[in-house]
Amino acid sequence: MIEVRVLLSAFRRAAVCLLLLSGVAPARADIGQAQRYADLQAIAPMIAAGVELWRKATDTGRERIAVVAAPYLAQWITTARTDSIAAGTQPIPPAIRTQLAGYVPTLVMDRVRYRIGWPESQGLQSDVFRLLQARAITLEDVIVFRNKDIAADPAIWVHELLHVQQYDRWGVEEFARRYLRAPDDIETEAWDATAGYRMWTLEGRPSTQARSATHDRR
């Protein structure tokens, strides 16, 4: 049986999403604010006790943490997506589309929207990028970039658009569970797509079927 201390230390990785929830708890029609915070308080001791690195937890510990935390992270992703759309999003810029054409599937680019900066309606605003140490965050089919310079980098777009395709394959809650259980696996696939894109551009952008489909490995 996993020691409670190890299980709690493993929760450190999940704590970020739960801390986000504590400031922007998603609204639900069927429960009140008091109940939403009561739900969070039920797992608050795990957050407070998390003092060691995620990698020290056993695989079983990670899985248990993922099962507990995934619904909360999935709910936050869905709510953050809705808030981002309400705050204003745009289609992929034509200049970026031109650079990605032939590598990223057109159908993916057609439906993705983006914005610069976190919506002001979200209490944490830009702190979310600091907490997650992220240059961009993908919320299903909406990408939120830290700033304009990052949004102008096609390689970062490739990375985030691969996350969009992961959402397509797994759904929001399964994406959340996998990310909490093994974030390196999720990010490695996205960075592989970025590396492949850089090689593709060095090769002169050969005319082939959209290459990102080859990343559909899981």
Higher pLDDT, 197 or 4: 197
DSSP 1: -
What pTM does this model have? 0.68
Mean pLDDT taken over the chain? 75
Q: How far apart are CA 13 and CA 178, in angstroms?
A: 12
The predicted-structure confidence for 77-120, as pLDDT tens digits, reads as follows 998 899 999 999 999 999 999 999 999 999 999 999 999 988 76
Q: How far apart are CA 53 and CA 175, in angstroms?
A: 22
Q: Are 135 and 150 in contact (CB under 8 A)?
A: yes
pLDDT at residue 59 in the model: 55
CA dihedral 25, 74, 139, 82 (to 10 degrees): -50
Host H or E run for residue 174: helix 172-181
pLDDT at residue 144 in the model: 94
